[in-house]
């Protein structure tokens, strides 16, 4: 059985004091939640404060990105060892907004994933097609290329413990338009098949595959009921404690 993992991606939102207010509510409300792993991904500048506030809870602090070099002349970047030092335990890599606006490619996402793992973090590797790609019947090809790049050079034993895939159809991110549970499950099952081919059955069954794209309290339960949907990467609805808590509770098995 895979423990579902629900992560709130706060994107470019929340000052440090706003982040602390939200995370304090989450700590109070989710402190006793069982059967589901939870994480939040604040901005880099709020990450250390959030991690400190979450000490003593099981809620993980995640970064929204991670550079592939550890140190050096890379103005504006933040490395995996620095993120770990600040209190992060997971890094999101390859989010569609990074691919769309900041030039991340399948190859660079793989470099970031390997760097996150080498730095002791878990890696949440995001994949997902754009609307035109879905309409052209290319969804699975696009996801295959993103998986091949994002997982390149990653060892199965490491993947089983510390790699999560987030399937996020780009047309569903921040649009209010969610993939139906059946649409999502079709792609999740395909990803699982690719994981079996790459890592073998045991590892493929251990890797969690999150769904992301306009997940809300009203649609979370139906999505999580699908066999290969193991939690969620939540954007907009993670900015309000009540909505995020409801989504986390919907992800609990049984
Ligand atoms: C995301 O940012 O990963 C995301 C899925 O956003 P939203 O939930 O707002 O669609």
Query: For 45-97, how does the pLDDT look when each residue is reduced to its tens digit (9 = 90+)?
Result: 999 999 999 999 999 999 999 999 999 999 999 999 999 999 999 999 999 99
pTM listed for this prediction: 0.98
What gap in Å lies between CA 116 and CA 79, rounded to an integer? 8
Query: What structural domains and CATH numbers belong to the chain?
Result: 5-250 (3.20.20.70)
Report the alpha-carbon distance of residue 214 to residue 233 in Å, rounded.
9
Q: Estimate the crossing angle of helix 241-250 against helix 217-224, to 10 degrees.
A: 20
Query: For 24-57, how does the pLDDT look when each residue is reduced to its tens digit (9 = 90+)?
Result: 999 999 988 899 999 999 999 999 999 999 999 9
CA of 97 to the centre of ligand 1 (A): 10
For 100, the token pair is 């769309």
Per residue in 193-227, pLDDT tens?
999 999 999 999 999 999 999 999 999 999 999 99
Which residue of 126, 173, 237 sits with most ligand 1 atoms within 8 Å of its CB, as the best mutation to test the pocket?
A: 173
Q: Is 215 a pocket residue for ligand 1 (Cβ < 6 Å)? A: yes
What pLDDT score does 254 carry?
A: 64
Task: Please work out whether the CB of residue 234 comes within 6 Å of at least one atom of ligand 1.
Answer: yes
Whose C-alpha lies nearest to ligand 1, atom 4? 235
133 C-beta closer than 6 A to ligand 1: no
pLDDT of residue 32: 81
Ligand 1 atom index nearest CA of 168:
5
CB-ligand 1 contact for 200 (6 Å cutoff): no
Q: Which of 215, 220, 223 to mutate to test the pocket of ligand 1 (most atoms within 8 A of CB)?
A: 215
Are 247 and 213 contacting, i.e. CB atoms less than 8 angstroms apart? no
Task: From 147, 161, 157, 67, select the one nearest 114 (Cα to Cα).
Answer: 67
Which among 59, 61, 111 is positioned nearest to 86, based on CA atoms? 61
């Amino acid at each position: 059985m895979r423990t579902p993992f629900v992560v709130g991606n706060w994107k470019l939102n929340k000052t440090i004091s706003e982040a602390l207010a939200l995370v304090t509510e989450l700590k109070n409300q989710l402190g006793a939640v069982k059967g589901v792993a939870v994480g939040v991904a604040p901005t880099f500048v709020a990450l250390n404060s959030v991690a400190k506030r979450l000490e003593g809870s099981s809620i993980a602090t995640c970064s929204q990105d991670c550079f592939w070099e550890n140190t050096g002349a890379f103005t504006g970047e933040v490395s995996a060892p620095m993120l770990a030092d600040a209190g992060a335990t997971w890094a999101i890599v390859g989010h569609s907004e990074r691919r769309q606006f900041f030039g991340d490619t399948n190859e660079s996402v793989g470099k970031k994933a390997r760097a996150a793992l080498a730095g002791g973090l878990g890696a949440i590797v995001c994949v997902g097609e754009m609307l035109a790609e879905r309409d052209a019947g290319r969804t699975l090809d696009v996801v295959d290329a993103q998986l091949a790049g994002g997982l390149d050079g990653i060892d199965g034993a490491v993947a089983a413990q510390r790699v999560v895939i987030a399937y996020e159809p780009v047309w569903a991110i921040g649009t209010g338009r969610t993939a139906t549970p059946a649409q999502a499950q079709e792609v999740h099952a395909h990803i699982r098949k690719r994981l079996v081919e790459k890592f073998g059955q045991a590892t493929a069954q251990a890797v969690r595959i999150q769904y992301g794209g306009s997940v809300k309290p009203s649609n979370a339960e139906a999505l999580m009921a699908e066999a290969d949907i193991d939690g969620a990467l939540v954007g907009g609805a993670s900015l309000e404690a009540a909505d995020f808590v409801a989504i986390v509770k919907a992800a609990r098995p049984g």
